[in-house]
Amino acid sequence: MKILIIEDEADLRENIIQFLRKEQYLVESASDFHSAKEKISLYDYDCILLDVGLPDGNGLDILRMLKLLEKQENVIVISAKDSLDDKLEGLDLGADDYLTKPFHLAELNARIKAVLRRKALDGRNMVRINNMELNFDDRTLQINGNDIRLNRKEFDIMAFFVVNKNRLIHKSALAEHVWGDHIDNADNFDFIYSQIKNLRKKLKDCGADLEIQAIYGVGYKLTV
């Protein structure tokens, strides 16, 4: 899952980045209002951790921008303020949760998982499709009850397809979601082809009752 941290406190931002990367999230960050606006206008995220008190703007204006852009990102507001008015305004603007500083990183992780499950997985931490079971907490894939070994990127790709089953996924969207916004510097998508080829072979070899279908010149679709 892809997370954007909008936080101006350098030490806190770095601690969150390191912690969430250990939890196998793809993490990007912005340290000020201007760079945050640029990122959310260009890229999509599964969850945004949003500090209200940014040095060059109000984080709540980021929420307003997300609404204007009709984006569906999960947003957790993080702030040193413990004001009911701030909480209510953030929730009214579309935030999914509110966490007051200081907080434990384990609690932040639990909040992230909760909002992701509520929106993408209807509250569940795993998805069953035909004879496949994908567990997002354990990062495991089973076919007919048998464990299928996936590397980190293969799991991230599979998770993205599962959440978007039967939808056409453009190659550029898949690359950005799984590899981050530095994908802009890539010359081609050969690395995606390699990962998809390996994943499709594993699904076929183990008898998965679903398929990652290639749409020539466009992208892929998980068909069930």
The matching CATH number, chosen from 3.90.1280.20, 1.10.10.10, 3.40.50.2300, 3.40.640.10, for 126-223 is: 1.10.10.10
Beta 132-135 vs 126-129: how paired, if at all?
antiparallel
How far apart, in whole angstroms, are the C-alpha atoms of residue 74 and residue 147? Answer: 30
Residue range(s) in the chain whose domain bears CATH number 1.10.10.10 = 126-223
Question: If you average pLDDT over every residue of the chain, what do you get?
Answer: 86
Which residues are within 8 A (CB) of 121 and not within 5 positions of it... i.e. 6 or more apart? Answer: 127, 136, 163
Q: pLDDT band at residue 18, thresholds of 50, 70 and 90?
A: very high
How far apart, in whole angstroms, are the C-alpha atoms of residue 51 and residue 28? Answer: 14
Q: What is the pLDDT of residues 189-224, one digit of tens each?
A: 777 888 899 999 999 999 999 999 988 888 899 988
Residue range(s) in the chain whose domain bears CATH number 3.40.50.2300 = 2-120
> What's the pTM?
0.68
